[in-house]
Amino acid sequence: MTEPTETKPVRHLLGLSGGKDSSALAIYMRDKVPEMEYFFADTGAELPETLEYIDLLEDYLGKPIVRLNAGRSFEHYLKLNGNFLPTNRTRWCTPELKIRPFEDYVGNDKAITYVAIRADESHRKGYLSTKPNISAKYPFIEDDKRIEDIEEMLETASVGKPKYYEWRGRSGCYFCFFQRKVEWVRLAERHPDLFKKAQEFEEYHRKEGRTQTWSQGEYLSDLLARREEIISEAEERDQLDQAHPSKRLIKSLRTMDDSDPGCLRNDSLTSYSFLIE
């Protein structure tokens, strides 16, 4: 007589980017789904503040946050892609460093991913897996949780926001080609070693006769030479926002997604909802 095949339980997965929304969702779901698996796609190009925050969350959650991409960082895949820098048009970094590691992690198991899209941005659905064994849930939308609720969760749990929010508006790689020019200036101030490393990638391209730059239309060396001008322009925009509350509200609604848009939005590549910040 053939023994019945044991059915493997559905896996519950929550990906962390190191940003506020996915972190708040992990806190929110910790006691609701005790069997939750937490993971973090480490690109090898993360800000120190991000890695520090992931460690803090791991302590709070009381269980391991699995680090994906073990031993294979951005530079590994840069070589595999002919040493061509990823850009907003050629975003090979997304499938290599986030999508494929997630697929390998899930395998053929049935899984539910928990997505950190808030009720006040419910028009967004993110990129869902096309694999039939993976489905998605949106707890913040289902429970009508908004930006003020997310901030309260982080404060109540005593984890707060990642420190990079002091100078940067989103999580993601230190060389994110979608960050604003003033954020590049702040990177040079906060992490001169990482700024220099980004410059080295760019200079290699220039010597090879290529035109890719991290910041659209401008080499980092030229950008940094305009440091005072860039800071002044950013301050003027901030003052204008403060003077016109309605415009500030529109801006805040447009930028509520503080994750890396190059990885997560307006991308023709198939991506996954867990990456949404």
Per-residue pLDDT tens digits for 161-215: 999 999 998 888 999 988 999 999 999 999 999 999 999 998 888 888 888 889 9
Q: How many CA atoms lie within 13 A of 96 on its CB side?
A: 17
> Which range, of 65-74, 149-158, 211-220, 260-269, averages the lowest pLDDT?
260-269
Residues 14, 29 contacting (CB under 8 angstroms): yes
Model pLDDT, residue 262: 37
Residues 57, 15 contacting (CB under 8 angstroms): no
Residue type, 150: I
Rounded Cα distance, 255 and 203, in Å? 31
For the segment 93-106, the average pLDDT, to the nearest whole number, is 86
Phi/psi-derived region of residue 52, left when phi > 0, alpha when psi is between -120 and 50, beta in every other case: alpha
Domain count, the chain: 1
Task: Answer whether residue 193 is part of any domain.
Answer: yes
Task: Answer whether residue 231 is part of any domain.
Answer: yes
Rounded Cα distance, 187 and 175, in Å? 9
Task: Answer whether residue 145 is part of any domain.
Answer: yes
Task: Answer whether residue 4 is part of any domain.
Answer: no
**Residue 265 vs residue 58, higher pLDDT:** 58
Task: Answer whether residue 6 is part of any domain.
Answer: no
Query: Is the predicted pLDDT of residue 244 greater than 90, yes or no?
Result: no
**Residue 47 vs residue 266, higher pLDDT:** 47
Model pLDDT, residue 3: 57
- pTM (two decimals): 0.82
Query: Is the predicted pLDDT of residue 117 greater than 60, yes or no?
Result: yes
Rounded Cα distance, 267 and 94, in Å? 9
Name residue, tokens 């198939």.
270
CA proximity to 23, closest of 136, 156, 199, 216: 156
**pLDDT tens digits for 17-69?**
999 999 999 999 999 999 999 999 999 999 999 999 999 999 999 999 999 98
Domain, as residue range, for 123: 11-275
Domain with residue 51: its CATH number is 3.40.50.620
Task: Answer whether residue 5 is part of any domain.
Answer: no
Task: Answer whether residue 205 is part of any domain.
Answer: yes
Residue 239: band (very low, low, confident or very high) from pLDDT cuts 50, 70, 90: confident
Task: Answer whether residue 3 is part of any domain.
Answer: no
For the segment 211-239, the average pLDDT, to the nearest whole number, is 91
Q: How far is CA 105 from CA 101, 111, 140, 216, in A?
A: 6, 11, 25, 34
